[in-house]
Each structure stands twice: as C-alpha cells, then as structure tokens.
Chains A and B, each alone.
Chain A
Amino acid sequence: MKLCIERVSKSYGSNKALKEFSASFEPGIYAFLGPNGAGKSTLMNIITDNLKADGGQITFDAGDGKEENARRMGLRFRKRLGYMPQYPGLYPDFTVERFLWYMAALKGMSKGQAKEQIPEILKAVELDDVPRRRIGALSGGMKQRLGLAQAVLGDPDILILDEPTAGLDPKQRIAIRNFISKISFNKIVLIATHVVSDIEFIAKDVIILKKGVVEDNAPPAQLLRKIEGKVWFLPCEEQEVQNRQKQFRVTNIGREEESGKALLRILSEEKPDGTVRTAPPTLEDYYLYIFGDVESRK
C-alpha cells in the first residue's frame, strides 16, 4: 500500500500555501510539523479531496501494484480514508453514541460492524462513560476525542489527523498517542501537529513544512543527528539572562539546583563562552532550530 503525492501546489489568491509538495507514504506514522500557515491543513484537505489542488496529483496503490489517481478513484479512495480535521464540527444535538452510528452509516459499515466497533472505540478514547451525552454538552477535550473516534471508525487504511491532541490534558494526550501508535499497524497515518512531543517517539518520518515548502523530511533520529553538538546548557546569574537571550536562541530557562543559578538551554552552532555543557537534542530543539523563536536573536 502506497500513497504518493507529486508536485501538489495550492494558492489562495497571491498567497502560495503549498509549493510543489512531493512525498510518498507507506504504512507507518508520518508527522507534519510546521508553524501556523505552513500549509499542513491545506495539504490534509487536498489529500482528503476537500480541496482541489491547483496542480500536481495524488496517487494510491492499494497493494496490487496498480497506481491510480486518488481523485479519480473517488468513492473507492474515500472508503479507505479516516479523517479528523483541525476543528471537527460535530452535531451538538446528537449523542456521542448516535453520532458514531451516523458516521458508521456514512462510511457504509454494516450494523454488525458498527455494533462491534463502536463500544471498543469509545473505550479506547475514554468516552465509554458518556455514550448518551449530547455532543453540545461535552468538554473541548471530549469533543476532540470523539473527533478521533469517528476518524478511526471503520478501520480505514489511511488515517489523516489534523492536530489530534489539541486541547487535551497530558494524561489524555499520552493515551491518544498510544492509541494512534497501537492502531497504526498496516495503516498510513498522517498527523499534522504543532506538538512535537506527540510524534517524537512514534513517527516513522517527520516532514517539516515551512511556507508551503518541505524544509526537511527524515526519521526523527536522523533529524536529531543534524543538531547534535548544537544544544547546550549554559548556567548564568539571573541578571545575565536577558543579555544571553539576546545573544543566543534560548529554548528553555530552568534553575540549577546546586548553585541556584539560572540554567539556559541554548541552540548554537558554536560552543558558547563560559562554563557550558552539551545537552542531548530533542525534536523540539530541532523545530526551534528550523523555525527560530521570536524572543531570541543569535
């Protein structure tokens, strides 16, 4: 099974949201990282045929070695698709359970399949205690989990999740991450997110998007290797912090327990002056390395 995106572009007026994007996906989890406006949601909408691309094409090979244009496949492609948009608009007057049954009807599932899958999914997303609650009465986190539940319903081959953990507390975030990881076997899972920790340990490849262009595309370990030796811990006095922030790209400010000094985590190509030690890089460091942050200037 293979999903290929070839030179896909999309503009909104003069604003180019996606510039000749190309990538191919096989079963596994793929993460799209990028700031707001990078083109992640536009790409998701194009893959799901919610939006028509200005150019390029998306092809799908179901495993029989025959590549077909996804848009032309239409219904056959959508049968394999599960999608959770960034802001899933759910019907406030439906109950949780009724909504999933409705989704089952939309996905063409049989009653038997729906009856079997719905309780399992509700349990997995921890909504099994509120099946009869109106969606309008759910909290933001619950709605987010219901959005995920509808996407995975029907066991789709391609799962597209746009910001799936937005608005969740840490415990729920971990549970959802584990759930996605668990169901991703033999599926193409595309996740667009800002939250680096969500995909750090589960993504097969991370695609960094910047202003509609792929900035990088590699497995997390490979990305981390690119900033090895560029992340430092720098202890300093509290009054020095502001100066250091002007000097370096500071990714975190902590406190050294023993000396009581401020402990800055900085990104720098060269070793900074003073008593410094190297730090193990994380994907968040790499994200900031690519996109920078507003407060610090190197």
Chain B
Amino acid sequence: MKLFFYEFYKLLRSKTVMAVCAIMLLLNLGLSLYSAGRVNKATVPKEILEPLYTEYWSSPEKVNERHEEWQKIQDEYAEKVNDAIKYGFDVDVEPPPPFLTETGIPSDYRIWDKLYSDVNRPKEYDDAMTEVINRALKTLAAYDVSGLSHESYAYQYQKQMADVYQKLRAEAYIGFENTRGWDLYFTSAAPVLFAMAAVVLCAGYLFVSEKSTSFYPIGHASAKGRAAHGTAKFFAGLLFVSLMTLLLLLVNGLAIGGTVGFGNIYNGIQSYKAFTYLPYNFSVLQYLICDTLIKLLAVALLYSLIQVASVLFSDMILSYLSGIAVVGVSYGVYAFTSHAPNRPIHQCNLITLGRTDEFLSRYRGFNLFGRAVNTTHFVIAVAGILTLLAAVGAILLFSRGCFGIWNLHLAEKLGRLRTRLASGKKRRNRAYASSLFAYEGYKLYLNRATLLLVPTLLVGALILSDILYKGEESYTEEKRREYIEAHLYGEISEEKERFIEEEGERIYGTIEKHKEMSKAYARDEITIEEFFAYMQEYDYAQSRKEAYEQLREYSDYLNETSEKTGVKCWYVVESGWETLLFSGADLFLMIYLIYSACRIWKSERGAQSSRGAFMQILLTTEKGRRKTARSKFALAMGNTLIAFLVSTGIRVYFIDTRIGLAGWRAPLISLRSFAGVSPGFTVAGYLCLYFLVQLILFCVLSAFVFSAALAFRNTAAVFVVSAVLLFLPALFVGLGVELAKYIDVTALIRFSGLFTAHRWYGILLLPLFVPALYLWFNRRIEKGDLIA
C-alpha cells in the first residue's frame, strides 16, 4: 500500500502530467460551457416553464382549456393570413399578442410544445414500444410460418427484443416533469474524449519515467521492486486516470447544471426522448451510475493497453504513438460506420463504449456461433477481460524484466536494416542547407515535444470539429434549407416572390380548410380517398408552416434591404456562413502558436549557461545574433501562417461538408447577422477581411509570446502565463463575468461578433502587443544584452 501511495505521489508531482490534466480540464470546461450555452439558448427558460408545470400538476383541465383557447386564436390568425393572400389584401396581418409571456420570447408555440411533449411522453413511449414489439412479433409470426428454427439466431434475436420491450412497456416509469439537462449530459462526448486524450498523453509516463530517471535498475534489484512495484504503479495510474475522468464528467455536469439545469434524478431515463429505446428499466440516477462505470471501463481499457506498450517499448514517444493508434483507429472506425450504428464493428469500439449513449441506446444483438448475444453485455465483458489481461500483462512484463524489450528489438532490426542499406554503398559527404531559417525550422519541428504535440492537436482539432460542426438541425431548419436550396438560392427575383406567395396560399389555405374538410368527411360529402388526400396535404402544410413563416421573414428582410440599399440581395443558407464567420478562436491553434513561439527559443533560452545553453556559442558567431533572431521571427510568422491555414482548412472543410457554404458571391447583407454593414461587401470580400484580420491577430499573438520567450529565460513559465492571459478572460466571459469581455482576446479573434455590433473595445488590447514588436527590432539584440 505504501508503494501505491508513493507512485500516486510521483504522478501528482509530475509537472507534465499535471499540465496535461489542467489543459484537458480547461478545454473540457470551455466546450461544456459552449455546448450548454447553445442548448440553453434553444431551451425554454425554467422560470417560464415552472409555473405552467405547477399549474398543470394541480389542475390539468384548466391548462388544457387555456391551450385550446390559444389554439383557437392561432387558427383564426391562420384564416386571416390565408384570406389576405387569397384576396390580395395587405399580407402583413397583425399577429395575435403573446399568450403566455409578455414579450413573446420564447414563442407560445415552443412553450406549449415543451409542456405537451412532457405531458404526452408516457403515451408516446407506449406507442413507440408497441410499434417495436408489434414489428418483432410480426417478424416472429412470419418466421413461424416459414418454419425457421426457434434456435436460430434471427428467431432468438426477435424474441429477445420483443421480451425486453414488452417488459419495459409494462414497467418503465415516466413521471411528469420539466425534463432537462440529463439528455445533454449523457450525450456529451467531450469529457470522455478529453479523458482519453489525457490518458494517451500521460499513461506512458508511469513506466517510462523509470527509465528516464535511471531508477529502473535500482528498483528492479530491490525486494519489492518487481511485481509489487509494477502493481502499485499500474493501480496508482489507474486511480489517477479514473479520478481525472470523474473530474471531467463533474465539470461537464456542473456546466450543464449551471446553465440548463437538471430534471429529477429519480424519474425514469425513458422520460427523455433520446433514451426511448434504452433496453433497461433505469431511473436517471441508475443510468448515471451505469454511464459513469462504462466510461471508466473504456478509459481503463485504453490505459491498460498503453501500459503494455509503454512497458514493451520503454519509450514515451512509442507509448504515445500506440495510444494515438488505438484511439485514432477506433475513432476512424466509429466515424466511418456512424451511418450504421447497429453494426457490430461500430458497437465493439472503444469510442462507442466511451460515449455510452449510443452504446446503450437500444437493444442490439449479434450472431455468435448461431446464438443471439446481447451486444452491450458482450462488449462490456470483452472490454473487462481485455483490461484485466492487459493489466496483468503490463505488470508481469515489467516484473519479469521485459522492460523496453521491443524497443531493443526494434532498434536492433533498424540497425540491421541500416547496415544492409549502407553496405555496398560508399558513403558520400552530404551537404546540408546553409540557410539559418531552415535550421530553425528543423529545430522547431523535429524534436520530440513537437512531434508529440502536433498529431495530438491535429487529432483533437478533427474530433472537436466533428463534434462542433455536426450539421444537426431542427426539422424546421431542414425544411427552410430545402426551400432555399431547391427553389430560391441566388438573387431575389419576382419569380421567387411568386413562388413564396403560392407556397403561402397552399399552406394557409390547407390549414384553414381543416375544419371544413373534417365536417365534410363526417357528413360523407367527400370520400375517404379525398379526405386522405387532403390530410396528406394538411400534414405537408402543418410540417412546413413554421419553416415557411421563417422563410417569409427572411424574404421580407431581403426585399426591404434591397429596396433600402439598392443592392440585390441573395437567398442563401445562412447557418453555414454564420457558423464559419462567428467562430475561429481555435483553442488548438492558439495552444500550438503559444507552444511554438516559446519552443523557438527553448533550445537557446531553455537552460542556464552553467547547465549548457547553446546561447553562449550562438552569440559568439557571425550570424548568431540579429540574423538568428530574424530567422526565428520569420519562422514564428511562417509557422503561424501554416498553422492558421491548416486550422482554417479543417474548419472550412467540416462546415462546408456538414452545413454548407454556398453563395460566396452574395452581398454580405444577405446574412441577417450582418444587416447593418456596408452594402458594398460581398460574402467573399468579408471572408477575405475576416481571415486577414484573424491571421494578423494570430501573428501578433505569436510575436507577443515570441518576444516574451526571448526576454524571459523560463519558456515554460511564458507558455503557462500566455495561456492563462489568453484563455482566462474567455473563461470568465463563459461564466458570466461581463467585465472580462473587455480583455477577451478570443472575442477579438472571432472578430465578426465585434464587427457586427460595432464594438471595438478589443482594439484596446492591441497596444499590449506593441512592446513585443519593439523588442525584437531593438538594436540591443545585436549587442547581445537582451539575449545574454
């Protein structure tokens, strides 16, 4: 036990491990606040809902009566709009005043919709279950008719599914309440992905540190230096990563709880639509425990596999690459099979296991030697066994002296290969570059830290983009996009106006005729076929009504703006452009820029002269002062440009393929977020300005950190201080501290928010960067005072 505590203490004392964990926690907090904030904006505030729910709880009839009254007002309004369109009156019929709130925000429709979706949830759940059960029973009946064996996989699978959902239909508890928060918490992928990233970055440290500190031979020769030492090490690390995972989940929970809030923990998990087909009768609390345990299992599995690799390789880079390979392959398979979530390959996957919500979302089985096996149970069992085997393997390999055996093996193989390649060839004297810039580039990119960090940040950026730019949209949004893409895209025109009017007539006309048609059908004045045909049209109209209203608003905006400015606006899908133009403060890019600007000086400033700093030699050479400083500065700028292009490329690619970026020739005022800007701007023109401003700001940021790393000897401290200065105000803004926005560099980098609001307080930050530019142009660099 003592050994265990010492090993745990070692981990806590490791600056690298703690720095990685702190970064992961910060990133997780930022992302959780961002996601929760977005959901919160789309959620009806609980202050509005709570009185309504309380009222419904005490007297539902009264609330139902009010709802009917509201529905009547809406029908009358629809009728008036339709008349107006039909008879060519002024289309701007005065809408009815808000019914439930004073301001009309959020709309009455949304409030009623939320209430009745919770009210109707038990029935909705029952219907969904009945549908699944009936389908399974029908399939079983068909199997019986066709004479399929009851022992066959297909029969067993359908039978198990019918049994599971029949039991759930009878037993699942769905209480009436304002359901909120938990669905977002359980579907958040970020905490477990950050936990995995932390494990990939740090897990190798445990065993590899034995080699780097040269303690291994001493420990190995002591009485408890083998199995006991290895076991203590392994479990100390396991406890550490488990605590880290729990902390990440807690941070996510706090962020969601603080913004959206949580529903009752004792309510059935099936109260949330996302868990309709969950094959277990769990309360939210039970599901929370199960979710946490499975996430811990996924992290433990990854941790154990990396431990085996770290013992075999005894090399941080190779351990890290093993972790990257496991997570990368898993994520790749997960992403490529996400269109078919029921496939075993998608389910038997580390990422699916870690995400839990998909893994547990419904009953799934697969064919194992002719038997239908529950996929969930099977994957959990396999993951548990693998974790155990890997744990035993790592400890045994460590205690049996196999530490670094693969590394030696690899080195030997590589050595032989090199000899074979070199044999028979006369070695020629090789000439290298004579440009200082090239050598500075070599120093920056080809070192262990950069080789370790860059792939991590790249994978992180890809995963984050995958999460952020999902392209998931509401039904209304989907229909609105359909209208624009199929009928309206491009410049406004009379023909398009006509289409909008005709579509309005169709929708409102159909809705208005509802009572009339129902009565006609009841009186047998129309046939059932006619009525069904009408109902199909009615469904169409109802489903598009909200989208049409939004489209109408957009159309009015475009016409009005065109008239006012004399510039012909375009119909474009705004969401893609808005996502692109209001983002851009890429966390990974900023971390990389701070790192690289510090790293550029690391070799020279990283050590005291008494411990061997190259700066002493550098300063005595012809080009070691100003020319080297200039090469380094040019590299910092070039590196910023490359990193910016890569980051922007990833962002543009994801947004373009997932959400869409059509209409770059459109005037910028076609996007409502940019209503107040000069009409001369096109989207493409603004895009150039936006990217240029961002690039300049990133260059200034790099220059600032670069100069700080030059002026102060401790590059690690410069890295930490720069990161804190950069991210802390943004974090405070996220937590609601308004004052922090005045010093929020990330808001300045996002640019569009300040541009459209004509708020230029971000400019106040720019003078901070002036000393940075002064510093390196200063003649003192040549004299050596500044560097030495």
Is the Cβ of A85 less than 8 Å from the Cβ of B616? yes
Which residue on A lies nearest to B788, using beta carbons? A50
Is the Cβ of B434 less than 8 Å from the Cβ of A87? no
Chain B CB within 8 A of A107 CB: yes
The 4 A-B pairs of least Cβ separation, nearest first, read A101-B432, A89-B612, A87-B612, A106-B621
A50-B784 in contact given A81-B620, A106-B624, A115-B429 (Cβ < 8 Å)? yes
A116-147 near B? 1/0 per residue, CB < 8 Å: 00110000000000000000000000000000
Residues 770-788 (chain B) with a chain A CB within 8 angstroms: 782-785, 788
Is the Cβ of A75 less than 8 Å from the Cβ of B619? no
B745-788 near A? 1/0 per residue, CB < 8 Å: 00000000000000000000000000000000000001111001
Residues 420-461 (chain B) with a chain A CB within 8 angstroms: 429-436, 439, 442-443, 446-448
Chain A CB within 8 A of B611 CB: yes
Number of interface residues of B (CB under 8 A): 38
Measured between beta carbons, the chain A residues less than 8 angstroms from B788 are 50-52
Cα distance A90–B429 in the bound complex, in angstroms:
22
Cα distance A61–B125 in the bound complex, in angstroms:
96
A156 to nearest B CB, angstroms?
9
Cross-chain contact of A48 among B429, B448, B616, B628 (Cβ < 8 A) = B616
Is the Cβ of B612 less than 8 Å from the Cβ of A104? no
Is the Cβ of A106 less than 8 Å from the Cβ of B434? no
Is the Cβ of A119 less than 8 Å from the Cβ of B429? yes
Contacts A81-B620, A84-B617, A93-B446 known; list 4 others, CB within 8 Å.
A87-B610, A89-B615, A107-B623, A110-B434
Cα distance A102–B618 in the bound complex, in angstroms:
11
Is the Cβ of A88 less than 8 Å from the Cβ of B433? no
B314 to nearest A CB, angstroms?
15
A89-105 near B? 1/0 per residue, CB < 8 Å: 11111100110011111
Cα distance A82–B785 in the bound complex, in angstroms:
20
Which residue on B lies nearest to A80, using beta carbons? B622
A91-B443 in contact given A78-B622, A85-B616, A107-B623 (Cβ < 8 Å)? yes
Measured between beta carbons, the chain A residues less than 8 angstroms from B439 are 102, 105
Is the Cβ of A93 less than 8 Å from the Cβ of B616? no
Measured between beta carbons, the chain A residues less than 8 angstroms from B446 are 93
Most buried by A among B607, B616, B782: B616
Is the Cβ of B628 less than 8 Å from the Cβ of A102? no
Cα distance A159–B614 in the bound complex, in angstroms:
17
Chain B CB within 8 A of A296 CB: no
Interface pairs (23), CB distance under 8 Å = A49-B619, A50-B615, A50-B788, A51-B788, A52-B788, A83-B620, A85-B609, A86-B610, A87-B609, A89-B607, A89-B613, A89-B614, A89-B616, A97-B432, A101-B431, A102-B432, A103-B621, A105-B436, A105-B439, A106-B621, A114-B431, A115-B429, A160-B620
Which residue on B lies nearest to A47, using beta carbons? B620
Cα distance A78–B436 in the bound complex, in angstroms:
17
Measured between beta carbons, the chain A residues less than 8 angstroms from B432 are 97-98, 101-102
Cross-chain contact of A111 among B431, B611, B624, B782 (Cβ < 8 A) = B431
Cα distance A82–B616 in the bound complex, in angstroms:
11
Residues 20-67 (chain A) with a chain B CB within 8 angstroms: 45, 48-52
A75-B610 in contact given A85-B617, A93-B446, A119-B429 (Cβ < 8 Å)? no
Is the Cβ of A49 less than 8 Å from the Cβ of B785? no
Chain B CB within 8 A of A74 CB: yes
Measured between beta carbons, the chain A residues less than 8 angstroms from B620 are 48-50, 78, 81-83, 160
Which residue on B lies nearest to A90, using beta carbons? B614
Chain B CB within 8 A of A251 CB: no
B672 to nearest A CB, angstroms?
52
Cα distance A129–B374 in the bound complex, in angstroms:
62
Cross-chain contact of A97 among B430, B617, B621, B783 (Cβ < 8 A) = B430
Measured between beta carbons, the chain A residues less than 8 angstroms from B619 are 48-50
Chain B CB within 8 A of A79 CB: yes
Measured between beta carbons, the chain B residues less than 8 angstroms from A254 are none
Which residue on B lies nearest to A89, using beta carbons? B612
Which residue on A lies nearest to B439, using beta carbons? A102
A252-281 near B? 1/0 per residue, CB < 8 Å: 000000000000000000000000000000
Measured between beta carbons, the chain A residues less than 8 angstroms from B783 are 74
Grouping DSSP codes into helix (H, G, I), strand (E, B) and loop, the B interface class, with mixed when no group exceeds half, is: loop
Cα distance A193–B487 in the bound complex, in angstroms:
86
Cα distance A119–B615 in the bound complex, in angstroms:
25
Range class of the A interface residue count: 35 or more
Is the Cβ of A83 less than 8 Å from the Cβ of B617? yes
B428 to nearest A CB, angstroms?
11
Chain B CB within 8 A of A150 CB: yes
Cα distance A250–B722 in the bound complex, in angstroms:
58
Chain A CB within 8 A of B16 CB: no
* Contacts from A to B (Cβ < 8 Å): 45, 48-52, 74-75, 78-79, 81-94, 97-98, 101-108, 110-111, 114-115, 118-119, 150-151, 160
Which residue on B lies nearest to A143, using beta carbons? B612
Is the Cβ of B785 less than 8 Å from the Cβ of A52? yes
Chain A CB within 8 A of B493 CB: no
A79-B622 in contact given A91-B603, A101-B432, A101-B433 (Cβ < 8 Å)? yes
Is the Cβ of B614 less than 8 Å from the Cβ of A88? yes
Is the Cβ of A107 less than 8 Å from the Cβ of B447? no
Cα distance A119–B431 in the bound complex, in angstroms:
11
Measured between beta carbons, the chain A residues less than 8 angstroms from B443 are 91, 93-94
Most buried by B among A83, A104, A150: A83
Which residue on B lies nearest to A100, using beta carbons? B432
A93-B785 in contact given A85-B617, A87-B610, A150-B617 (Cβ < 8 Å)? no
Is the Cβ of A108 less than 8 Å from the Cβ of B622? yes
Measured between beta carbons, the chain B residues less than 8 angstroms from A104 are 434
Measured between beta carbons, the chain B residues less than 8 angstroms from A74 are 782-783
Cα distance A129–B617 in the bound complex, in angstroms:
25
B757 to nearest A CB, angstroms?
47
Is the Cβ of A105 less than 8 Å from the Cβ of B433? yes
Measured between beta carbons, the chain B residues less than 8 angstroms from A114 are 431, 434
B104 to nearest A CB, angstroms?
64
Cα distance A83–B433 in the bound complex, in angstroms:
22
Measured between beta carbons, the chain B residues less than 8 angstroms from A50 are 609, 615-616, 619-620, 784, 788
Cα distance A35–B429 in the bound complex, in angstroms:
42
Measured between beta carbons, the chain A residues less than 8 angstroms from B433 are 101, 105
Measured between beta carbons, the chain B residues less than 8 angstroms from A45 are 609, 616
Cα distance A106–B434 in the bound complex, in angstroms:
9
Which residue on A lies nearest to B616, using beta carbons? A85
Residues 624-643 (chain B) with a chain A CB within 8 angstroms: 624, 628
Measured between beta carbons, the chain A residues less than 8 angstroms from B782 are 74
A109 to nearest B CB, angstroms?
8
Measured between beta carbons, the chain B residues less than 8 angstroms from A82 are 620
B627 to nearest A CB, angstroms?
8
Which residue on B lies nearest to A162, using beta carbons? B616
Measured between beta carbons, the chain B residues less than 8 angstroms from A119 are 429
Measured between beta carbons, the chain A residues less than 8 angstroms from B623 are 105-108
Cα distance A110–B336 in the bound complex, in angstroms:
53
A88-B612 in contact given A104-B434, A115-B431, A119-B429 (Cβ < 8 Å)? yes
Cα distance A78–B628 in the bound complex, in angstroms:
14
B620 to nearest A CB, angstroms?
4
Is the Cβ of A49 less than 8 Å from the Cβ of B784? yes
A54 to nearest B CB, angstroms?
14
B291 to nearest A CB, angstroms?
44
Cα distance A81–B620 in the bound complex, in angstroms:
7
A112 to nearest B CB, angstroms?
9
Is the Cβ of A106 less than 8 Å from the Cβ of B618? yes
Which residue on B lies nearest to A84, using beta carbons? B617
Which residue on B lies nearest to A111, using beta carbons? B434
Is the Cβ of B616 less than 8 Å from the Cβ of A83? yes
Measured between beta carbons, the chain B residues less than 8 angstroms from A94 are 442-443
Which residue on B lies nearest to A153, using beta carbons? B621
Measured between beta carbons, the chain B residues less than 8 angstroms from A151 are 617
Residues 143-166 (chain B) with a chain A CB within 8 angstroms: none
Measured between beta carbons, the chain B residues less than 8 angstroms from A97 are 430, 432
Measured between beta carbons, the chain A residues less than 8 angstroms from B607 are 89
Which residue on A lies nearest to B437, using beta carbons? A105
